[in-house]
Amino acid sequence: MILDRLIPARVAGIDSLGPTLKRFRFEPESGRFPTAAPGAHILVTLRGPERVWKNAYSLVTPPDQRDGYAIIVRRVRDSRGGSHFLHDHLRPGDRVEIGPPASLFPIASLARRHILIGGGIGLTPFLSYVPVLRARGAAFELHQYCTDEETGIFRELLAEAGAGVTVHGETSRRSFTEVLTDQPLGTHVYTCGPAGMMEAVEAAARDLGWPEAAIHKESFGGAEGGRPFRVTLARSGRTLDVPETQSLLEALETAGIEAPCLCRGGACGVCLTGVVDGEIEHRDHVLTEEERAGGRLMATCVSRARSDVLVLDL
């Protein structure tokens, strides 16, 4: 299941933003795309000669733009192939399939003030936040943290964002504690970027006494590889091999097995699947410590096996 249906689309254009960053613009083959909520992402299906990738990317276009969608993708050196395929093989006019937009990172409607903290490519969901916050007349700050080499790239991307935007390089930056100190009651903080950065933002907010309900994050990282393992499906008796460069979810999809999914980053819980036997290496962001210890649920999009074999309730 990928949110009911895929939308046929074509690559309308590709813009090089930097050595490792490209913006990909898509247009529907017919009609218009669905309206997207701020912070929404789409699943893009990429069909290569030997395999298929289904990757989630945040939309950077305004939520009410329906004649075209855009995403920004970094070419990751240790990618399992999706970002390499986009950067190296996708061309204007190529056909892709896009899932309807899904929102797991909404703007808190009752917040009095919004603090947006992005790290590197984690800026992307905030590019769709800004026009909405501006239209609402909402009070907000956007802090983008990046390398010194990329400060110019991100300043250009944020050139039309207006006041309240700061791009922090490595040699001159405010700490998260400084950014979050003395904010008015009712302020919410949103963070997206590398896991270590998001954890540091969360820690700073908690140390300052921020309530948990006012701290929001989006994990944009997809599945990482790991040790190969074998999966047995208890109901059908089928056995699948999961290689080190493939996720369990991808192995199920390759075998033609219906496998629910939404974020493909361990953040939504849609792909949670029952485990009958085996030891799990949990990598998700949704299960409680008690659920992890119980060993009876796993997120197939990111988690893997510690044991040689897993038996799933499928």
pLDDT score, position 291: 95
What pLDDT digit, counting tens, does each position of 249-303 carry? 989 988 889 888 888 888 888 899 999 999 999 998 889 999 999 999 999 999 9
Asked if pLDDT for residue 170 goes beyond 60, the answer is yes
Band (31; pLDDT cuts 50, 70, 90): very high
CATH number at residue 71: 2.40.30.10
Residue 103 domain-assigned (yes or no): no
Asked if pLDDT for residue 192 goes beyond 60, the answer is yes
Tell which wins on pLDDT, 169 or 222.
Answer: 169
What is the per-residue burial (b if ≥16 Cβ within 10 Å, else e) of 228-238? Answer: ebbbbbeeeee
Residues 93 and 120 in one domain: no
Pairing of strands 21-28, 215-218: unpaired
Residue 26 domain-assigned (yes or no): yes
Residue 1 domain-assigned (yes or no): no
Supply φ then ψ for residue 221, to 5 degrees: -70, 140
Asked if pLDDT for residue 1 goes beyond 80, the answer is no
Pairing of strands 52-58, 113-119: unpaired
Q: In this structure, how many other beta carbons lie within 10 angstroms of the beta carbon of residue 43? A: 22
The C-alpha R_g of the chain, in whole angstroms, comes to 20
Rounded to whole angstroms, the Cα distance separating 109 from 236 reads 45
Residues 163 and 94 in one domain: no
Asked if pLDDT for residue 79 goes beyond 90, the answer is no
Residues 214 and 243 in one domain: no
pLDDT score, position 256: 86
Query: Quick check: 9 and 97 in contact, CB under 8 A?
Result: yes
CATH number at residue 239: 3.10.20.30
Asked if pLDDT for residue 198 goes beyond 50, the answer is yes
Rounded to whole angstroms, the Cα distance separating 187 from 194 reads 23
Residues 120 and 213 in one domain: yes
Indicate the range of 71-80, 100-109, 148-157 predicted with least confidence: 71-80
Stretch 239-257: mean pLDDT: 90
109, two tokens: 């409607």
Q: Tell me the percentage of the chain whose pLDDT exceeds 70.
A: 96
63, two tokens: 């939520």
130 CB-near residues (< 8 Å, 6+ apart): 140, 142, 161, 162
Q: Of the candidates 137, 147, 56, which has an alpha carbon nearest to the alpha carbon of residue 101?
A: 56
Residue 107 domain-assigned (yes or no): no
User: Quick check: helix, strand or coil at residue 203?
Assistant: helix
pLDDT score, position 2: 42
Residues 145 and 63 in one domain: no
Asked if pLDDT for residue 128 goes beyond 70, the answer is yes
Residue 224 domain-assigned (yes or no): no
Pairing of strands 139-145, 165-168: parallel
236, two tokens: 């059908």
Band (3; pLDDT cuts 50, 70, 90): very low
Residues 30 and 82 in one domain: yes
Residue 65 domain-assigned (yes or no): yes
pLDDT score, position 8: 96
The structure's pTM equals 0.85
Domain-terminating residue out of 191, 218, 245: 218
Residues 91 and 130 in one domain: no
Q: Which residue has the tokens 């944009």?
A: 220
pLDDT score, position 144: 98
240, two tokens: 């699948």
Residues 139 and 119 in one domain: yes
User: Quick check: helix, strand or coil at residue 149?
Assistant: helix
Residues 203 and 253 in one domain: no
Asked if pLDDT for residue 146 goes beyond 50, the answer is yes
pLDDT score, position 253: 87
pLDDT score, position 228: 95
Band (48; pLDDT cuts 50, 70, 90): confident
Residues 78 and 17 in one domain: yes
pLDDT score, position 224: 74
Q: Which domain holds residue 175?
A: 113-218
Residues 81 and 15 in one domain: yes
Pairing of strands 304-305, 95-98: unpaired
155 CB-near residues (< 8 Å, 6+ apart): 167
Stretch 209-220: mean pLDDT: 91
pLDDT score, position 260: 84
Number of domains in the chain: 3
Residues 139 and 82 in one domain: no
Stretch 198-218: mean pLDDT: 96
Task: Give me the chain's average pLDDT, please.
Answer: 92
Asked if pLDDT for residue 191 goes beyond 90, the answer is yes
